């Protein structure tokens, strides 16, 4: 049997290469997704500033709660099941200094406190980013020992106007000992004298550091009575844990220190896990569609060969075993290199995410054999399942009917396939309906891609019937064109199964690409519309550095003609157990600056201690209710609900008073300041001229900034889903090329009866036009149904945003792929001797 398998693969090189490519791409993408998924679960976060610290004590960087489920088992018996859940905080949690007192009591322990706060250096008229674009953080000089940083020149800071700068940052800023520089931290920009240049004795390439005196660091950090972390020397971990037992402190050592240092990496892990898992699942479904389609076409092309085997006595089991072994051999050969190359592909994806700011550079790629083994297993399994599915009907052909079955394409589908197609149609409709009630992006995104895939599975199962009906409609106008159109109509009708096999990957390409491209467009357009409708500010002041200082906002309030100034600070909170995007707004006059479309209550009542929620986030709460909230840094508090509004996409899920947010974020300066009043931009610029890095624009500037954030999110989705688009595009070329190469005898016969090469190409062009038209109709229909459900749930409108220009590019791209995959193989085939081809020479 194995010799027969090898002989078949050698003779059927075209279908073998096509199957290999489909499986290779499947292993490549699944392997890359597996690496990213593992990175999200257990990716390393190497310590840098804490690399010289044996033990680090910090606050718990997780929000935790217990989920209890009660199940009535009948007969009065009730079963209660509790499970603790945790999510990464969005901001740094701070630790009470009382913990430091407990640590200082440990015999032999040397305890060093660390304060972390943003601090940007002004250079050449702008704020200098940290190394490789990473953040620049300020600290107290005593915490330099945690790395350690040592002075390369100069001396430690002794007064509140002194600063020590790390050597890499000083070199880029052109600063030396004795120079003065402006630093923008958490308050008014201040001029400091550089007293020293420090170099780390460990590798520090994910951040830049400035060191101040202990008093100045405490003032800039602004967290009285708390610290970012403690570094402990001279005591073991067990001693430290015993000392802080009963507090909320978390003790870390070894590799755990990195997660304390880079708190954003923990939330990035969660994001990467969800994205990697969603893409891996989507990839597997797409891979099954593509691989099954490829094998189905390959087996269909071998009907004559398989029919001969049945006619000479081969049993159905033997035929299935032969096809399965061929698939397993191809699967193994393709899975090994594909899965291994998934590692460098994952590295490329990670680098792109880092450049987009989706994940920090501190989160290192996890490398282990598990994703590779899983990708190989999934690929070989997909090959085996595809082979068994496609060989099932062929192996059941009775020997007496074998040659007739090979000569004439069967016009009906099996009952099982039809039932499966109807089941997937119902399933796709249910998932699309589910989309209409999903109102959050994390919940809607995976379901959106699942919806379009389920529609495509249904279309692939019922493809021959749908194709035959479409060809019947298109055949009438096609017959009006002699030779090319006429022959294309007849050929497509006679070979509807083959045409359907080619249409499926092309429809998948069009449907998936349209969905991926227009989902973020629908969101961004709706957000832009809501922002435009709700923005009443006349001008916006934005910062090119760490934010707009509070004194600058006060200066703007004193400008003649200005009636309202609102500072805007973005964060993430938890309302109960629901994660919500939030904005902190200066409460005085806020209703005159923004209009989030309040439906209940009044935004004018927004003040410290109160909260406004969108109608999607309010979840049955009523005006006057107390809303338990966990702030981004883990502090639990309560707010009174004063307003419910409708424009969640434009203004976020929750609005809070700026005063209630500013103490719970890592960067407390407002990113933007909204201004209402009869005033000129020059007057505003004059007011903030003493604050470097601020720019004044009209309200469109704020809308552009919001649009840029939406565009970044769209790029993140496109990076992930672009892999599937590329995979599907390869499948399109693969399938079309297979279909053309299999028609050698047909083209030879056409040449021998007098058809010219030009006329053959004319037939192919008409056939390709029919294929692209049907694929466009099916793919667009699946995408439109999905997008309508998504838009209804997320935007509240059944009309998604679709760019006709972008859609035209998608169709032209599909047509271009079709032309390449059709014309090039056809040119190679038509160069052959038709007399030899008609006799069956391959």
Answer whether residue 660 shows pLDDT above 50: yes
| Predicted pLDDT at 716 | 67
pLDDT tier, 671 (very low <50, low <70, confident <90, very high otherwise): confident
One domain for residues 127 and 234: yes
Burial tier of 764 (Cβ tally within 10 Å: 0-12, 13-18, 19+): buried
pTM: 0.81
Query: Which of 692, 718, 745 represents a domain boundary (last residue)?
Result: 692
One domain for residues 139 and 71: yes
| Predicted pLDDT at 382 | 81
| Predicted pLDDT at 782 | 93
Short-list 506, 470, 491, 471, CA closest to 293:
506
Work out the angle at residue 38's Cα, subtended by the Cα atoms of residues 34 and 42, and round it to the nearest 5 degrees: 175
Report the Cα 480 to chain-centroid distance in Å: 49
One domain for residues 239 and 274: no
> How many C-alpha atoms does 76 have within 13 Å on its Cβ side?
0
Q: CB–CB of 66/406 below 8 Å? A: no
Question: Among 349-358, 388-397, 778-787, where is mean pLDDT lowest?
Answer: 388-397
One domain for residues 325 and 458: no
One domain for residues 220 and 281: no
| Predicted pLDDT at 638 | 95
**Ramachandran sector of residue 174 (left: φ over 0; alpha: ψ -120 to 50; beta: rest):** left
One domain for residues 328 and 221: no
Query: Which of 256, 286, 305 represents a domain boundary (last residue)?
Result: 256
Mean pLDDT of 371-395: 80
**Alpha helices (runs of H) in 64-166, residue ranges in sequence order:** 97-104
DSSP E strands: which ranges in 501-561?
539-543
Q: CB–CB of 673/552 below 8 Å? A: yes
Distant-in-sequence, close-in-space partners of 101: CB < 8 Å, separation ≥ 6: none
DSSP symbol at 586 = -
**Does a structural domain hold residue 540?**
no
**The domain containing residue 7 runs over which residues?**
1-45+262-408
3-state helix, strand, coil in the chain (%, to 5): 55, 20, 25
| Predicted pLDDT at 833 | 64
**Does a structural domain hold residue 290?**
yes
**Does a structural domain hold residue 796?**
yes
What spatial distance separates the first Cα and last Cα of the chain, rounded to whole Å?
Answer: 23
Report the Cα 639 to chain-centroid distance in Å: 33
pLDDT tier, 12 (very low <50, low <70, confident <90, very high otherwise): low
Question: Among 141-155, 325-339, 461-475, where is mean pLDDT lowest?
Answer: 461-475
Q: CB–CB of 15/305 below 8 Å? A: no
DSSP symbol at 128 = E
Between the CA atoms of 44, 45, 47 and 49, what dihedral angle is there, to the nearest 10 degrees?
Answer: 160
DSSP result, 94-115: -EEHHHHHHHHTSTT-EEEEE-
**Does a structural domain hold residue 509?**
yes
Answer whether residue 74 shows pLDDT above 70: no
Answer whether residue 288 shows pLDDT above 80: no
Answer whether residue 323 shows pLDDT above 60: yes
* Residue 269: Cβ within 10 Å count: 20
Query: Which of 256, 289, 320 represents a domain boundary (last residue)?
Result: 256
Work out the angle at residue 807's Cα, subtended by the Cα atoms of residues 803 and 813, and round it to the nearest 5 degrees: 150
pLDDT tier, 406 (very low <50, low <70, confident <90, very high otherwise): very low
Answer whether residue 642 shows pLDDT above 90: yes
Helix (H, G, I), strand (E, B) or coil at 67: strand
CA–CA separation, 841 and 818 (whole Å): 27
Share of the chain above pLDDT 90, in %: 34
**Does a structural domain hold residue 629?**
yes
| Predicted pLDDT at 842 | 45
| Predicted pLDDT at 186 | 87
DSSP symbol at 548 = B
**Does a structural domain hold residue 52?**
no
DSSP symbol at 129 = P
Short-list 561, 605, 601, 574, CA closest to 587:
605
CA–CA separation, 279 and 32 (whole Å): 10
Say which residue the tokens 């190394």 belong to: 131
Split into its structural domains, the chain has a count of: 4
| Two structure tokens written together for 842 | 């391959």
My answer on whether omega of the bond before 148 falls inside 30° of 0, hence cis, is yes
One domain for residues 650 and 726: no
One domain for residues 295 and 236: no
Question: Among 18-32, 494-508, 680-694, where is mean pLDDT lowest?
Answer: 494-508
| Predicted pLDDT at 636 | 92
**Does a structural domain hold residue 25?**
yes
CA–CA separation, 726 and 509 (whole Å): 9
pLDDT tier, 841 (very low <50, low <70, confident <90, very high otherwise): very low
One domain for residues 105 and 176: yes
Highest mean pLDDT among 387-396, 466-475, 687-696, 740-749: 687-696
One domain for residues 132 and 249: yes
| Two structure tokens written together for 105 | 């009591």
Mean pLDDT of the chain: 83
CA–CA separation, 151 and 31 (whole Å): 46
Short-list 339, 338, 325, CA closest to 384:
325
Short-list 503, 726, 717, 718, CA closest to 24:
726
φ, ψ (nearest 5 deg) of residue 232: -120, 125
| Two structure tokens written together for 315 | 């049993």
Report the Cα 769 to chain-centroid distance in Å: 34
One domain for residues 614 and 678: yes
| Predicted pLDDT at 129 | 76
Q: CB–CB of 40/271 below 8 Å? A: yes
Short-list 724, 772, 818, 779, CA closest to 459:
779
**Does a structural domain hold residue 55?**
no
Distant-in-sequence, close-in-space partners of 459: CB < 8 Å, separation ≥ 6: 466, 504, 507, 778, 782
One domain for residues 226 and 116: yes
| Predicted pLDDT at 104 | 93
């Amino acid at each position: 049997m194995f010799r027969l398998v090898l002989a078949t693969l050698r003779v059927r090189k075209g279908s073998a290469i096509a199957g290999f490519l489909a499986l290779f791409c499947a292993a490549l993408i699944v392997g890359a997704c597996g690496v990213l998924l593992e990175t999200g679960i257990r990716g390393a976060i190497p310590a840098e500033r804490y690399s010289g610290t044996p033990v680090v004590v910090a606050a718990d960087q997780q929000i935790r709660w217990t989920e209890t489920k009660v199940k009535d088992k009948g007969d009065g018996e009730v079963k209660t099941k509790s499970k603790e859940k945790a999510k990464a905080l969005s901001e740094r949690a701070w630790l009470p200094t009382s913990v430091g007192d407990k640590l200082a009591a440990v015999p032999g322990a040397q305890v060093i406190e660390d304060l972390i706060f943003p601090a940007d250096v002004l250079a050449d008229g702008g704020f200098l980013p940290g190394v490789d674009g990473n953040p620049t953080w300020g600290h107290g000089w005593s915490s330099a020992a945690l790395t350690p940083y040592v002075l390369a020149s100069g001396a430690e800071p002794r007064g509140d106007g002194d600063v020590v700068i790390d050597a890499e940052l000083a070199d880029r800023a052109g600063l030396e000992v004795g120079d003065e520089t402006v630093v923008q931290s958490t308050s008014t920009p201040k001029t400091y004298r550089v007293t020293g240049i420090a170099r780390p004795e460990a590798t520090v390439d994910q951040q830049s550091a400035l060191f101040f005196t202990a008093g100045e660091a405490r003032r800039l950090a602004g967290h009285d009575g708390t610290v970012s972390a403690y570094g402990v020397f001279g005591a073991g971990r067990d001693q430290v844990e015993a000392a802080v037992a009963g507090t909320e402190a978390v003790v870390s050592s070894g590799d755990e220190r990195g997660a304390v240092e880079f708190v954003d990496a923990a939330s990035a892990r969660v994001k990467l896990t969800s994205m990697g898992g969603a893409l891996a699942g989507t990839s597997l479904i797409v891979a099954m569609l593509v691989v099954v389609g490829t094998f189905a076409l390959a087996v269909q092309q071998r009907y004559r060969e398989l029919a001969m085997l049945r006619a000479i006595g081969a049993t159905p089991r033997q035929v299935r075993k032969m096809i399965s072994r061929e698939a397993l051999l191809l699967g193994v050969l393709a899975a090994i290199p594909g899965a291994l190359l998934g590692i460098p592909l994952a590295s490329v994806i990670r680098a792109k995410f880092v450049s987009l700011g989706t994940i920090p550079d501190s989160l290192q790629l996890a490398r282990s054999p598990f994703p590779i083994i899983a990708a190989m297993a999934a690929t070989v399994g997909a090959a085996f399942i595809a082979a068994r599915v496609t060989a099932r009907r062929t192996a059941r052909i009775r020997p007496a009917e074998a040659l007739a079955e090979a000569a004439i394409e069967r016009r009906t589908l099996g009952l099982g396939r039809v039932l499966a197609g109807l089941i997937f149609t119902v399933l796709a409709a249910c998932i699309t309906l589910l989309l209409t009630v999903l109102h959050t992006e994390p919940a809607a995104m995976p379901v959106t891609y699942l919806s379009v895939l389920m529609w495509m599975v249904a279309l692939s199962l019922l493809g021959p019937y749908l194709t035959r009906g479409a060809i019947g409609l298109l055949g009438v106008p096609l017959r009006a064109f002699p030779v090319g159109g006429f022959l294309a109509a007849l050929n497509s009708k006679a070979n509807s199964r083959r045409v359907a096999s080619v249409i499926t990957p092309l429809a998948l390409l069009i449907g998936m690409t349209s969905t991926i491209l227009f989902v973020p467009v629908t969101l961004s357009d709706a957000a832009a519309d809501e922002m435009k409708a709700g923005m009443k500010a006349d001008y916006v002041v934005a910062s090119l550095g760490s934010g707009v200082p509070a004194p600058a906002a006060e200066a703007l309030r004193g400008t003649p003609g200005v009636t309202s100034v609102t500072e805007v600070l973005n964060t993430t909170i938890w309302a109960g157990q629901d994660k919500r995007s939030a904005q902190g707004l200066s409460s005085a006059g806020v209703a005159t600056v923004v209009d989030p479309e309040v439906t209940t209550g009044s935004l004018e009542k927004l003040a410290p201690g109160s909260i406004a929620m969108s109608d999607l986030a309010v979840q049955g709460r009523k005006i006057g209710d107390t809303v338990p909230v966990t702030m981004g840094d883990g502090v639990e508090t309560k707010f009174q609900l004063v307003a419910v509004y409708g424009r969640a996409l434009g203004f976020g899920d929750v609005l809070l008073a700026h005063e209630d947010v500013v103490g719970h974020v890592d960067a407390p300066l407002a990113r933007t300041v909204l201004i209402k009043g009869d005033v000129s931009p020059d007057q505003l610029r004059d007011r903030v001229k003493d604050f470097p890095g601020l720019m004044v624009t009209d309200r469109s500037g704020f809308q552009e900034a919001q649009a840029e954030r939406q565009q970044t999110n769209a790029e993140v989705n496109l990076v992930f889903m672009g892999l599937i688009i590329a995979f599907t595009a390869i499948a399109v070329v693969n399938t079309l090329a297979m279909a053309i190469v299999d028609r050698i005898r047909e083209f030879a016969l056409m040449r021998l009866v007098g058809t010219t090469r030009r006329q053959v190409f004319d037939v192919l062009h008409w056939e390709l036009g029919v294929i692209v038209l049907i694929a466009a109709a099916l793919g667009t229909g699946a995408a439109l149904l999905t997008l309508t459900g998504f838009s209804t749930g997320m935007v509240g409108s059944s009309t998604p945003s679709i760019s006709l220009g972008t859609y035209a590019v998608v169709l032209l791209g599909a047509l271009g792929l079709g032309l390449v995959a059709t014309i090039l193989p056809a040119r190679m085939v038509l160069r052959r001797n038709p007399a030899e081809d008609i006799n069956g020479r391959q």
